[in-house]
Structure 1
Amino acid sequence: MPSELYPADGFDGTGDGPVGATVRRNLRTLLGVFLLVSAVVTAAASGINLTDVVSWSVVPPRLSPTPLTDFRLALEVGTLSGVFAAGLTLVGLLGRDARVSLSRSRRHAVVAAFAFTVGVAAGVILLPAVAEAVSRIAATSAAGLDVYWYTEVWLFFPVALGVAAATPFLLVAAVRAGVVGRFTSTRERGYAALAFVVFAACYSPADSATFVLLAAPLFVGLAAGIAWLEFR
């Protein structure tokens, strides 16, 4: 069913949508942007002690000084930056599709950017309490705890909250622009859920508690966006 938020001759949720068509036409460009930004940011982050972001007042003194793989942390920051850069490039390329009108989604896109900033700020404020609470659960796991665990939480939990806060507005913006149909399909929801699971799996320690810590806000944001579109 086409949405009343964009013209009927736009994407109706069936066939080859703007996203799929744009990705196929510009796969090399998107991959190049991802690799270039990932490499540059990884190289820059390699010269920074990323563990300095951790508030050491909440790190239990019993933790042993496990050697950190600084390059892995830098690589995680680099690849995430590459994903964001490729995503922004994809948005620009989508504007060339005749079925898409980015101007109709400008207001919601701005609100999404503001919501992302607020979410990140809230994550930073909540970090000490969240890390301390989750550490009590994770301490009983086989993975154990180390400084690397805390650094990952400190780096990526605020990002997860920011993305979660922005997701409902991004979904509305995508509908208004004609990128996706208002009544999202099971396949589209599955793609979004898969992306969130991959993020939580790649940017959290090997522990179920921290996986849930990163994944849960993202799924709440997705559910809020779907509810906004389908039950408003």
Structure 2
Amino acid sequence: MDSAETVDTFDPRRRGLSPLAATARRHATRLVAIGLLTAVSVFAAIRDPGLLSPTGGLPPTAGVSPTAGVSTAVAGVGDPTFLVRLELGVLTGTLTAGVSLVALAGCDPAVDLRAASGWLAVAAAGFLVGTVAARQFAPGLTDLLVEWGRVAADSRQSALELELFFPVAVGGGAAVAPLLLGLRRAGALSRRLAGTTRGLSLLCLVAFAACFSPPDSTTFALYAAPPAVGLGVAVAWVEFG
């Protein structure tokens, strides 16, 4: 099918698909390929994820330098560096596929992304500003969680996950509301952000928190809270705005 075909052509039985969902279904193979290619490229390119974190992924402890013991060598599958590289690849691939989905949805005559350009720009700016700001506080948060006994002081994987992915959670939280409102304004989502949209959004934020946070309920809540607040703002804006 041509990418410019309408939702009615793709979904003649009117199964309730929004234009965005119809686009995802129609281009599922392409989106999966884009995500996988990006994930593999990022995984191969980033040999030491500690170079991307403020402290090299080692929480400061008494008498220990934040960068002590950091090695650029890549170990086997069980090595924390390997696991964080894999997480980085998956996250980047998913975000790239998501951006591609929005671009493909813009080819549908029922969708007008130009009408939502302001909202989408705010979403991009919110993600960037939120991520950069949270990155400044991530090392301090890691120290606090170590002090509380929520994160092991010698766990490089947990420190890297907090310093690399918690800022993404905050940036995502800042971007969720304008992104959903923009896609709604463009006609890509239902006008009322129906139950399916809310349910999928909640599923995505829970999956993100579960996959990219250290195995602790406190860090899970810290990851899930910003996107959940953003989703709540979007729903409240639609329902009561």
TM-score, structure 2 as length reference: 0.81
Kindly report structure 1 stretches of 4+ aligned residues shifted beyond 6 Å: none
| Corresponding letter in the other structure for 2:55 | S
Give the deviation of 1:35 after TM superposition. 0.7
Higher mean displacement: 34-43 or 183-192: 183-192
Match among 81, 87, 100 for residue 92 of structure 2: 81
Q: Is structure 2 residue 177 aligned with structure 1 residue 168?
A: yes
| Corresponding letter in the other structure for 1:217 | P
Question: Does the Cα contact within 8 Å between 2:80 and 2:156 map onto a contact in 1?
Answer: no
Q: Which runs of 5+ in 1 are unaligned?
A: 1-8
| Corresponding letter in the other structure for 1:171 | L
Post-superposition CA distance 1:129-154 (Å, at most 9, x none): 322222333x158x786121111100
Question: Does the Cα contact within 8 Å between 1:17 and 1:179 map onto a contact in 2?
Answer: yes
Distance 1:121 1:40 in 2: 23
Question: Does the Cα contact within 8 Å between 1:105 and 1:176 map onto a contact in 2?
Answer: yes
Superposition pairs of residues 79-118 of structure 1, within 5 angstroms: 79-118=90-129
RMSD between superposed Cα atoms in Å:
2.6
1:190 match: 199
1:3 match: none
Superposition pairs of residues 50-89 of structure 1, within 5 angstroms: 50-52=49-51, 53-55=53-55, 58-61=59-62, 68-89=79-100
Distance 2:173 2:20 in 1: 21
Distance 1:87 1:169 in 2: 15
Give the deviation of 1:230 after TM superposition. 1.7
Residues 102/61 of structure 1: CA separation in 2 closer, same or farther (3 Å cut): same
Question: Does the Cα contact within 8 Å between 2:127 and 2:174 map onto a contact in 1?
Answer: yes
| Corresponding letter in the other structure for 1:152 | E
Give the deviation of 1:186 after TM superposition. 2.1
Q: Is structure 2 residue 39 aligned with structure 1 residue 38?
A: yes
Give the deviation of 1:118 after TM superposition. 1.0
Give the deviation of 1:38 after TM superposition. 0.5
TM-score, structure 1 as length reference: 0.84
Match of 1:179, SS state, is coil
Match of 2:213, SS state, is coil
Superposition pairs of residues 88-167 of structure 1, within 5 angstroms: 88-137=99-148, 139=149, 146-167=155-176
Question: Does the Cα contact within 8 Å between 1:182 and 1:230 map onto a contact in 2?
Answer: no
Distance 2:79 2:158 in 1: 10
Distance 2:28 2:15 in 1: 22
| Corresponding letter in the other structure for 2:204 | A
Post-superposition CA distance 1:96-147 (Å, at most 9, x none): 222111110111111111111110121012213322222333x158x78612
Question: Does the Cα contact within 8 Å between 1:54 and 1:154 map onto a contact in 2?
Answer: yes
Match of 2:188, SS state, is coil
1:5 match: none
| Corresponding letter in the other structure for 2:32 | L
2:217 match: 208
* Count of aligned residue pairs for this structure pair: 217
Q: Which runs of 5+ in 2 are unaligned?
A: 1-7, 9-13, 70-77
Post-superposition CA distance 1:200-220 (Å, at most 9, x none): 111011111111111111101
**Higher normalized contact order (CA 8 Å, seq sep 6+, divided by chain length):** 1
